[in-house]
Amino acid sequence: MPDVTPPPEPDHHLVHDVIIEHEAWGDIEPVVASCFKAVMAHDPETFCKGTVALLFTSDEAVQRLNREFLGKDKPTNVLSFPTDEDVMDHDGPIHIGDIALAYETCYREAVDKRVALKDHAAHLIFHGVLHLFGYDHEDDDEALVMEKMETDLLADMGIDDPYAD
C-alpha cells in the first residue's frame, strides 16, 4: 500500500486573542473562532499570517477609544486599529491590528435588525478584519467590494446578508 501523506497546511494563518472586558458578551469566543476559520477558508492568500487582538467591551470604552484615537466623541459598533506596517510585505507573523466591539451598540443594532447578536457580531468581526487588511468604504466602489466580501464570509457561516433590503 502506498504511503499517503496529507498535503502540508498552508503557511498562512491568523491567530486571534480575545479579551472580554464586558461580561454581557458572554461566550463570544466560539463566534470569533468560526469567523477566523471562515476568513482563512474563504481566501487564504489574501490574509497573511499574524495576530489580531479583539476586545469585547462597552460603549463607554469604545467611545473613549474613538475619542482618543479618531477624534470622535461617541460610541460606535466596531473600531479597527491596523498596524502602521504593510502586513502583506512580511514573511513571518506580525501583529496585524486590534478590533474593539461595543456591547450596547451591537446589541441595540441586532435588536433593530432582528438578528441574533452572535450573527451581528460575526458581521462586525469580518468588517473589522477587512479594515485591518486595508479594505475601506470611503467611496461607493470601495464599499461595494467590502460589503461583497462581508456577505460572502457571512454566507460561508450560514448567516444572511445584512445589506439585503
Q: Residue 15's pLDDT is what?
A: 76
Long-range pairs of 85-93 with CB within 8 A, sequence gap ≥ 24: 87/48, 87/50, 87/132, 87/133, 88/48, 88/133, 90/48, 90/50, 92/49, 93/15, 93/49, 93/50, 93/51
Residue 53's pLDDT is what?
A: 94
What is the tens place of the pLDDT at every residue in 55-79?
A: 999 999 999 999 999 999 999 999 9
pTM (predicted TM-score): 0.87
Answer whether residue 1 is part of any domain.
Answer: no
Residue 95 lies in a domain: yes
Residue 9 within a domain: no
User: Can you give the CATH number for the domain in which 112 is found?
Assistant: 3.40.390.30
93 or 147: which leads in pLDDT: 147
Note whether residue 72 is domain-resident.
yes
- Binding-site members are 127, 131, 137
Mean model confidence pLDDT for the chain: 87
pLDDT mean over 132-141: 90
Q: Is 164 a member of any domain? A: no
85 located within any domain: yes
- In the annotated binding site for Zn(2+), the residues are 127, 131, 137
Between 4 and 130, the higher pLDDT residue:
130
Report yes or no on 112 lying in a domain.
yes
Residue 161 lies in a domain: no
Domain hosting residue 34, numbered range: 14-156
Domain count, the chain: 1
